[in-house]
Amino acid sequence: MTGRDRISFEEAISERALLRVRFEELAFPQRVALKLMYGVPLSARNTDEKTGFTEMDLWRIFHGACDRDDHGFITKIHDTGFPEYRPRNIGKRG
CA distances from 44 to 2, 22, 26, 54, 56 (A): 33, 22, 19, 6, 5
Q: Is residue 67 classed as helix, strand or coil in its secondary structure?
A: strand
Provide long-range contacts, Cβ within 8 A and 24+ apart, for 85-94.
85/39, 87/39
Work out the pLDDT band at 83, boundaries 50, 70, 90: low
> 40-62 pLDDT, tens per residue?
888 888 899 998 999 998 988 88
Provide the sign of the torsion angle of the four alpha carbons 93, 33, 44, 71, taken in this order. negative
> 18-44 pLDDT, tens per residue?
999 999 999 999 999 999 888 888 888
